[in-house]
């Protein structure tokens, strides 16, 4: 699957939804559940279908200002691509 572009609007795929508690959030999908912590949770909480990939990157690059912006872009792109391959995220 291709990586998201700057104009992509990542969102949970059909059949996927948030579950768990505020402290232990999970993504429920037809084949199981994905427990989210740290950066993975921060990324997916922003995947609302409204923000573009570029906006999501900008927010997270601001939040992790001491990290190389190119590394953030690469890591988030890879993460979303993996979730897209598992049909958890669409963009």
CATH fold of 13-86 reads Arc Repressor Mutant, subunit A (1.10.10)
Task: Give the confidence band of 77 by pLDDT, cuts at 50, 70, 90.
Answer: very high
Residue 72 zone, left/alpha/beta (φ > 0; ψ -120 to 50; rest): alpha
Domain boundaries, the chain: 13-86
Residue 86 zone, left/alpha/beta (φ > 0; ψ -120 to 50; rest): alpha
Instruction: Look at residues 73, 87, 21 and name the one whose alpha carbon lies nearest to residue 43.
Output: 73
- pTM comes to 0.90
What pLDDT was estimated at residue 37? 87
Q: Tens digits of per-residue pLDDT, 8-30?
A: 999 999 999 999 998 889 999 99
The average pLDDT across 38-53 equals 95
């Amino acid at each position: 699957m291709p990586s998201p572009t700057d104009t992509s609007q990542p969102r949970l795929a059909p059949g996927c939804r948030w579950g768990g508690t505020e402290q232990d959030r999970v993504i429920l999908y037809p084949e199981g559940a994905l427990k989210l912590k740290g950066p993975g949770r921060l990324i997916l909480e922003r995947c609302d279908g409204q923000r573009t990939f570029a906006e999501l990157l900008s927010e997270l690059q601001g939040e992790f200002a001491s990290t190389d912006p190119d590394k953030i872009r690469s890591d988030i792109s890879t993460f979303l691509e993996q979730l897209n391959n598992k049909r958890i995220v669409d963009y």
